[in-house]
Amino acid sequence: MNATPATTVEQPRRGRRFKRFLGWAVVLAILLLVLWTLFTLWWSYSDGERAGLLQKFSKRGWVCKTYEGELALYVVGGVAPQIWHFSVRDDAVADQLLRNVGKQMRVHYTEHPGLPTTCFGETDYFADRFDLIATPGSLPSASGLAVQGDEPTAPASKP
């Protein structure tokens, strides 16, 4: 008779212990996921620059809207261009890029591999600034960026 009450008391205690263990395991897993996300966002695996023609830039996503762009890298005649995909997190840079679609540019980026979600960007490459590249027929602007335009013409001489 004494064996039966001890067994019934022990089962609820085991159940509470398992639930507590499971709760702490879930909290620990969430904490590790948050720490990993922060680490991959703050730590840059690499940074560099790529140059080419900005051929597409858009805001995409079902739930998390992110800015995504495509840069057609310089090509050799007769060879299809290599397309480089990148994301932008800064709204000011995104607004400037939207206004410069179709222009030659040099984009500075940082690479953040291993992000657990696409809510920060669909690619590992995050562009943080860019410079327009002067091409024949362009004029330098006051900001130091090249602006597409007509060649200046010499003033007409008086007869």
- Could you please report the per-residue DSSP string of 11-71? HHHHHHHHHHHHHHHHHHHHHHHHHHHHHHHHS-SEEEEEEEEEEEEEEE-SSS-EEEEEE
Q: How confident is the model at residue 150 (pLDDT cuts 50, 70, 90)?
A: very low
- Please identify which residue in the block is written with the tokens 């995909």: 85
Q: Does residue 156 lie within any of the structural domains?
A: no
> CA 158, CA 155: separation in Å to the nearest integer?
9
Comparing 2 with 79, which gets the higher pLDDT? 79
Q: Are residues 55 and 39 in the same domain?
A: no
Q: What's the confidence (pLDDT) of residue 97? A: 95
Give the pLDDT confidence of 34-73 residue by residue, as tens digits.
Answer: 888 888 878 889 999 999 999 999 999 888 899 999 999 9
Domains in the chain, number = 2
Inter-CA distances, 126 with 11, 54, 75, 134, 148, Å: 53, 15, 23, 24, 26
Q: Are residues 71 and 139 in the same domain?
A: yes
Q: Are residues 51 and 37 in the same domain?
A: no
Domain holding 4, by residue range, is 1-43
> CA 68, CA 88: separation in Å to the nearest integer?
6
Q: Which of 6, 150, 124 is nearest to 66 (CA)?
A: 124
Q: Does residue 159 lie within any of the structural domains?
A: no
Q: What's the confidence (pLDDT) of residue 99? A: 95
Q: Does residue 154 lie within any of the structural domains?
A: no
Asked if 105 contacts 52 with a C-beta cutoff of 8 angstroms, the reply is yes
Give the pLDDT confidence of 67-119 residue by residue, as tens digits.
Answer: 999 999 976 778 888 999 999 999 999 999 999 999 999 999 999 998 887 88
Which CATH number characterizes residue 58's domain? 2.40.50.140
The Cβ-side half-sphere exposure at 20, using a 13 Å CA radius, reads 6
Helix (H) or strand (E) holding 9: helix 3-42
Asked if 74 contacts 84 with a C-beta cutoff of 8 angstroms, the reply is no
DSSP per position, 32-44: HHHHHHHHHHHS-
Q: What's the confidence (pLDDT) of residue 41? A: 79
